[in-house]
């Protein structure tokens, strides 16, 4: 199960992605917003705490640029959020960084590219490479 959330700047793209993922039969929970003007840290916190607690395998956060969501998301213990604007980065975010949250810019990306980035991210898995495990452990150390 994955979760998706946005602020008002990412709302339109969130709705497009929800429909896209539903079409693929993917189990996705929409944690809001509903299009109202809101503050992105609130939704980043809601989604990231749930991902960190293991309620969802991964999360997708969308705001206007994706920047605010990614900054806020990476403040939550256990979250590795990647702001991606291309499919290669989205795949690497999983294979090398084991990113558990994908951040997207709703006012930056075209809808079709955003769908492809999301698909690339969700299709990829962590490589389990020794060097990547070591580096992620180093990132975890930064949290304490």
Interface ranges with ligand RB5 (CB under 6 A): 7, 9, 40, 63-65, 67-68
Nearer to ligand RB5, 7 or 98 (CB): 7
Smallest distance from ligand RB5 to CB 108, Å? 9
Catalytic residue among 63, 84, 87, 103: 63
- The verdict on whether 63 is a catalytic residue reads yes
Catalytic residue among 8, 87, 96, 132: 96
Nearer to ligand RB5, 35 or 125 (CB): 35
Closest CA to 13 of 76, 103, 135: 103
What is the DSSP code (8-state) at residue 63?
Answer: E
28: which strand partners? 2
Nearer to ligand RB5, 98 or 114 (CB): 114
Radius of gyration, CA atoms only, the chain: 14
139: left (phi over 0), alpha (psi -120 to 50) or beta: alpha
What crossing angle do the helices spanning 111-123 and 11-23 adopt, rounded to 10°?
50
Smallest distance from ligand RB5 to CB 65, Å? 4
Smallest distance from ligand RB5 to CB 136, Å? 25
Say if residue 48 is preceded by a cis peptide, omega within 30 of 0.
Answer: no
Q: Which residues are catalytic?
A: 63, 96
């Amino acid at each position: 199960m994955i979760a998706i959330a946005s602020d008002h700047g990412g709302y339109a793209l969130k709705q497009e992605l929800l429909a896209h993922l539903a079409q693929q039969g993917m189990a996705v929970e929409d944690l809001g917003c509903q299009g109202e003007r809101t503050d992105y840290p609130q939704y980043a916190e809601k989604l990231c705490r749930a991902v960190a607690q293991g309620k969802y395998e991964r999360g997708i956060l969308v705001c206007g640029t994706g920047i605010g969501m990614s900054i806020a998301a990476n403040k939550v213990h256990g979250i590795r959020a990647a702001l991606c604007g291309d499919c290669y980065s989205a795949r690497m975010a999983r294979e090398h960084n084991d990113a558990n949250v994908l951040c997207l810019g709703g006012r930056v990306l075209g809808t079709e590219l955003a769908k492809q980035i999301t698909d690339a991210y969700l299709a990829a898995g962590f490589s389990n490479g020794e060097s990547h495990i070591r580096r992620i452990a180093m990132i975890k150390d930064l949290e304490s």
